[in-house]
A and B are shown apart, each in its own frame.
Chain A
Amino acid sequence: MITDLYRHNEWANLRLLEACRALTDEQLDTRAVGTHGSIRGTCVHLVAGEQRYIRRLGGETAAPDVRETDPFPGFDVIEAAVRDNARCLIDRASATQGTAIASTFQGRPTRSMLRSSWSRRSATLESTGSR
Chain B
Amino acid sequence: MTLIEDLYHQNEWATLRLLEACRGLSEEQLEADAPGTFGSIRRTLLHLVGADPSYVTRIGGTYEGPAVQYDGPLDLDLLAQVTQRSTVGLIERAERSLEGSWTFTSPEGEEIDAEVVLAQALNHATEHRAHVCTILTTLGIEPPELDAWAWAEETGRARMP
Contact = CB atoms under 8 A, between A and B. Distances in A.
> Which DSSP category, helix, strand, loop or mixed, fits chain A's interface?
mixed
A122 to B, nearest CB: 4
A121 B6 contact: yes
A17 interface: no
Given A34-B136, A121-B3, A131 B147 contact: yes
Nearest to B148: A122
A1 B119 CA distance: 8
B137 A121 contact: no
B24 interface: no
Chain B interface size band reads 35 or more
Interface residues of A, number: 37
Contacts, number: 103
A130 B143 CA distance: 12
> Which DSSP category, helix, strand, loop or mixed, fits chain B's interface?
helix
B67 interface: no
A41 B35 CA distance: 20
Given A32-B36, A120-B3, A125-B126, A1 B94 contact: yes
Interface of B: 1-4, 6-7, 10, 34-36, 94, 97-98, 113, 115-116, 118-119, 122-123, 126-127, 129-130, 133-138, 143, 146-149, 151-153, 157-161
